[in-house]
Amino acid sequence: MRENHFEDGKWWVSPYNFEPEVRNQMQLPPQVQIHDATLRDGEQTPGVVFSVDDKIRIATKLDEVGVERIEAGMPAVSPQDAEAIKEISKLGLKSKIFTFARAMKQDIDMALECGADGVIIEVPIGYPKLVTQFGWTWEDVFKKSRDVINYAREQGLYAVFFPYDTTRARRDDLENLCKGIMNESPPDSIGIVDTMGCATPEAVKYMVGWVKGMTGLPIEIHTHNDFGMGVATELAAVAAGAEVVHSCANGLGERTGNAAMEELMLGLHLLYGYDTQYKLEKLPELGALLSELSNIPIARNKPVLGQGNFIRESGIGIQYVMHDPLVMFGTHPALTGRSGEVVLGKKSGKASINYKMQELGLGEVSDEENAALLAKVKQKGIDKRDFLSDEEFIALLNAHRAAS
């Protein structure tokens, strides 16, 4: 694990992330794995449907990026899902293939038939769901889970026990369930699931320590983004000792989505100092593929993937955008397969005009002409309510010169 806040020409983040006073408050595990659920939870985004071929393409790209585990789907959902998982399992990917399962032996058998390496065994534990949706008690959940966990492990599958809506469980229910499974059917790991994205990072840190203390198991954290903290709560879980973070690429998922895979990758590698092997430069390719297949555009200002992340409109500091980008950004654009860009608009200055003229090979302008052009650029940006394209600037320049 690294303890440096910069790497020459690649990134420069806060040194306070690595201060002993900060690090000593953490229980960081030696390694953290990403379990990506794009093919299951991501497809649960309303309106998103992935074909078998789509899922194969996405899984292949996830593997290229370096995701350790791919949750390839839930075989019980449909024959098409089962077919996709089977085909993905045959690809010989480095990523381990997991399926999502109910606490039913038949779902475990389906995982085996599909060639999976592991299985996520889901059961409810959140109190609103137990009481209203299912009419169960924690004892019902335990009885349904016990034999299925043992069966999955007996069949050679890595069994993740996944009591979802964990962050809304009553303390006694969760304690009794954890003690019950550890006595009679210990899984390989256990998930803390913030299904409604409603727990604070501090609460999740507490729960990781609490559940780890009760079970002694590796902890997996799965969050949603309803309060905009999906990634933050997962990284807080890592700081408390969680060994696996769950994600969806592009932040896909029900409602506001799941913790975004690409943001977790950069957080683990740059902010927490894990020496990961993720191919960060391939993230834009994965993001573009998922945007196309899901028919959900990537917001211009989305972290990591947004097209506007390395664009500078303000005239202050534009000389650094291309030549010394770590002055203006926390990461060099090339780290994630990008490049910096200077654009013209309402916030531009004289230096912006000179820079753009040089970039486009349009020669030089006098101070007087620069001032006139800048006024026109600013007005165009105001009228358009956006920055100008290069073509729009050239047209504006030509019109200005024709009128001069």
Q: What is the pTM of this model?
A: 0.95
Reported as a single tens digit per residue, the pLDDT across 123-132 is: 999 999 999 9
Place 403 in a pLDDT band, splitting at 50, 70 and 90. Answer: confident
Separation CA 145–CA 103 (nearest Å): 5
Question: DSSP string covering 265-325, please?
Answer: HHIIIIIS-------GGGHHHHHHHHHHHHT-PPPTT-TTT-TTTTEE-SSTTHHHHHH-G
Residue-averaged pLDDT of the chain: 96
Q: Is the pLDDT of residue 39 over 90?
A: yes
* pLDDT confidence of residue 318: 85
Q: Which residues, in sequence order, are CB contacts of 208 under 8 Å at separation 6+? A: 192, 219, 221, 237, 240, 241, 242
Q: Work out whether strand 6-7 and strand 11-12 pair parallel, antiparallel, or are unpaired.
A: antiparallel
The H or E element spanning position 222 is strand 219-223
Q: Could you state, in order of their start, the residue ranges of all structural domains in the chain?
A: 14-294, 311-403
Q: What topology is assigned to 14-294 in CATH? A: TIM Barrel (3.20.20)
List pLDDT tens digits, range 264-298: 999 999 999 999 999 999 999 999 999 999 999 99
**pLDDT tens digit sequence for 336-366:** 999 999 999 999 999 999 999 999 999 989 9
